[in-house]
Amino acid sequence: MPELPEVETVKNQIAPHIIGRTITRVTLLWDRMVKGQDPQDFVKRIAGQKITGVTRHGKYLIVHLGSGYKMIIHLKMTGSLILGNNIDAEPPQYSRAIIHLDDGQNIYFRDPRKFGILNLVKDTLEIDAKLGPEPLEASFTPQYFTEGLLKRSAPVKSVILEQKFIAGVGNMYADEALFLAKIDPRRPANKLKKAELKRLFTAIQDVLIAGIKYGGASVVTYYHPDGSVGTAHQHFNVAHNLAKVCPVCGGPVKRVVVGGRGSYYCPKCQK
């Protein structure tokens, strides 16, 4: 699933190509990806809108339009945005929507599993209410993080995956952060020691920064807007590395289920 580093990479790479451009029309190849409104109304209202900016909140990509409205894009589990210059070209496989721009470019919303979302909203209050602070911004403080975890008896991994607690952290980067902090993902959050909390706070930021540096993780279906892949997964220590060995102790990486999510960890390093 595209997480904060993947969506941030999409934002950074696509923005220079689309800011200042006008959306001439939208072709929906899967109407049900439009949520919260009639798909044809979405198509009608977005045509002719100028793109004035692109931002990200958590895992949401927000395209700001000249009318003041925002087009919300959520890539969900398998989504990617692919840029294409040939308006007559065959859309990439699994394209579910095509956003046509006035310079002949197309933005293809590619989504094999059809979980991706498009929406047009006046403001982002509903999204903002669902999300906690951004982990790479000043609002994410050690005090906030510590107090939030010590209130919860749920497994620490389940807590840091809650988007209302921390925006944008997903399964892969949670596994990596817990490995760096030497914490078993099943540990009750309120049982963590002060030193462990400090290590985990720093580790979350470190793995996200590294993820952005390497352009996100292309484990299965994630692509950059130019069709290339990210390389963050090549630097993972444990995430998706079942049957490989821990780079620290040489022991086998194991997989357990925590809160319904497959979780990779090193039993020796994360006791």
Known catalytic residues? 2-3, 59, 261
Rounded CA-CA distance 207/247 in Å is: 16
Q: Which two tokens stand for residue 244?
A: 């490989």
Closest CA to 172 of 37, 3, 34, 31: 3
Closest CA to 28 of 41, 18, 19: 41
Say how many C-beta atoms besides its own lie within 10 A of residue 198's C-beta: 15
Place of tokens 């319904």: 260
Closest CA to 118 of 33, 55, 56: 33
How far lies 220's CA from each of 83, 112, 166, 249, in Å?
A: 19, 11, 24, 27
Contact present, 152 and 216 (Cβ < 8 Å): no
